[in-house]
Amino acid sequence: MVPMESLLTFAAMSLLVIVVPGPSVLFVIGRALAHGRRTALATVLGNMVGSYLLVVAVAWGLGVLVEGSATVFMGVKLAGAAYLVFLGVQAFRHRKEVRAADMELPAGEQRSDRRTVLDGIFVGVTNPKGIVFFAAVLPQFVDHEAGHVPVQMMVLGLVPVAIGMMTDTLWGLGASAARSWFARSDRRLSMVGGTGGFAMIGLGVTVAATGRTD
């Protein structure tokens, strides 16, 4: 199995990478501002599932193909960016449909949890930061002499996923708490919902415009 030294070193490196807000963190914040706490937490869950799917892809060779091919990588990146922009536009368009009184309704009536989780999974799978990190860094901590390399990668991959779940949850709770304060006024709630939409649109544009171009 994975040596404890490699596990701890990989955990420390993962923490350093995760604490710097990337697409997943900004996406969670945008969703929290636009839709509230329950949607933010469902988004975190989806993001983590999507991130672990990247781990599985890398473990079985697909991640290396994506990271190694500029064309495939660009396609995945642009797909994720376009979806972020789409979600941002939707949040902005429907910002006035959310009222302070709606905060008292069961969250399931406000937005489908299943749809929210699926949105998070898609964004997590197409996260350029995750693709590069898992494809370039994860294989370096595997003990090839011990064998079972894919299994080792999947075990190691649980570490950043667990760290990400904790940190993203804190970001989501913090952003949704700020939204609750704005919810005292329908006008302010509409404004913060629009802000969340703009944040996701800006994130999508940023993801599309940055990163490798080779």
Asked whether 9 and 1 are in contact (CB, 8 A), the reply is: no
> Virtual CA dihedral for 206, 207, 212, 214, nearest 10 degrees?
-100
* Percent above pLDDT 70 for the chain: 69
Q: Given pLDDT bands bounded at 50, 70 and 90, which one contains residue 137?
A: confident
Residue 214 lies in a domain: no
Q: Is 14 left (phi over 0), alpha (psi -120 to 50) or beta?
A: alpha
Q: Given pLDDT bands bounded at 50, 70 and 90, which one contains residue 207?
A: low
Q: Name the token pair of 146.
A: 């011990």
Q: Given pLDDT bands bounded at 50, 70 and 90, which one contains residue 165?
A: very high
pLDDT digit string, tens, across residues 13-67: 788 777 766 777 878 887 888 788 889 999 999 999 999 998 998 888 775 565 5
* Percent above pLDDT 90 for the chain: 15
Centre a 10 Å sphere on the Cβ of residue 123 and count the other Cβ atoms it contains: 29
pLDDT value at residue 85: 81
User: Of the spans 34-43, 86-95, 106-115, which averages the highest pLDDT?
Assistant: 34-43
Asked whether 190 and 75 are in contact (CB, 8 A), the reply is: no
> Virtual CA dihedral for 193, 201, 108, 103, nearest 10 degrees?
-10
Number of structural domains found in the chain: 1
Distance CA 179, CA 181 (A): 5
Domain residue limits at 182: 4-15+22-209
pLDDT digit string, tens, across residues 147-161: 777 888 888 899 999
Residue 146 lies in a domain: yes
Residue 199 lies in a domain: yes
More confident residue, 108 or 12: 12
